[in-house]
């Protein structure tokens, strides 16, 4: 219960501060398999609760980048050089701009904190990146997560 409250408060605060359409927590329930377990939305139409990622897109190579602390900022999925399966997946979820931070715990990659802007492209600022990093760190270091 404490974990749920923490994650919901963190995702909501992040969405409000970034002024975007959606923030989700993608939780890994086993190696590189997961789903959206929490979301904060500007409108119910943006819900992707329970969604899983494309199996062939998130692999050991991507996981290694996030395990190393990678923050991924995509200003416009239509112009960013990304894999076709990733672009198609983001289009399916009505994402136009994407910002992702890993939630790292001692045992490894626990989840991803993901910010989506759906209505238009968005140039992510250094303060946006700092905000999502801080939010991911808040979740990762909470006693109810560890």
CA-to-CA distance for 145 and 125, rounded, in angstroms?
A: 28
pLDDT tens per residue across span 26-83:
999 888 888 999 999 999 999 999 998 766 677 778 888 999 999 999 999 999 999 8
Above pLDDT 90, what percent of the chain? Answer: 77
In a domain, 110, yes or no: yes
| Nearest one of 33, 85, 26, 30 to 50, comparing CA atoms | 26
In a domain, 111, yes or no: yes
φ, ψ of residue 25 in degrees (nearest 5): -110, 120
DSSP 10: H
In a domain, 71, yes or no: yes
Average pLDDT, stretch 116-127? 97
Q: What CATH number is attached to the domain comprising 126?
A: 3.30.450.40
Listing DSSP states for 17-56 in one string gives HHT-SEEEEEEEEETTEEEEEEEEESSGGG--TT----TT
In a domain, 43, yes or no: yes
- Secondary structure class of 108 (helix, strand, coil): strand
In a domain, 21, yes or no: yes
Residue-range definition of the domain harbouring residue 28: 2-140
pLDDT tens per residue across span 78-111:
999 998 888 999 999 999 999 999 999 999 999 9
In the chain, the number of structural domains is: 1
In a domain, 64, yes or no: yes
In a domain, 146, yes or no: no
The per-residue pLDDT for 63 is 85
In a domain, 145, yes or no: no
The answer to whether the beta carbons of residues 116 and 44 sit under 8 Å apart is: no
């Amino acid at each position: 219960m404490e974990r749920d409250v923490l994650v919901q408060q963190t995702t909501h605060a992040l969405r409000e501060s970034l002024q975007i359409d959606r923030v989700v927590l993608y939780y890994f329930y086993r190696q590189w398999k997961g789903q959206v377990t929490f979301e904060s939305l500007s409108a119910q139409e943006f819900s992707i609760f329970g969604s899983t990622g494309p199996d062939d897109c998130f692999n050991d190579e991507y996981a290694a980048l996030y395990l190393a602390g990678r923050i991924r900022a995509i200003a416009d999925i239509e112009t960013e050089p990304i894999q076709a399966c990733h672009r198609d997946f983001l289009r399916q979820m009505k994402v136009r701009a994407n910002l992702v931070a890993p939630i790292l715990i001692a045992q490894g990659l626990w989840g991803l904190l993901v910010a989506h802007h759906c209505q238009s492209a968005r140039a992510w600022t250094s303060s946006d990146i700092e905000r999502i990093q801080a939010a991911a760190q808040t979740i990762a270091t909470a006693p109810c997560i560890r």
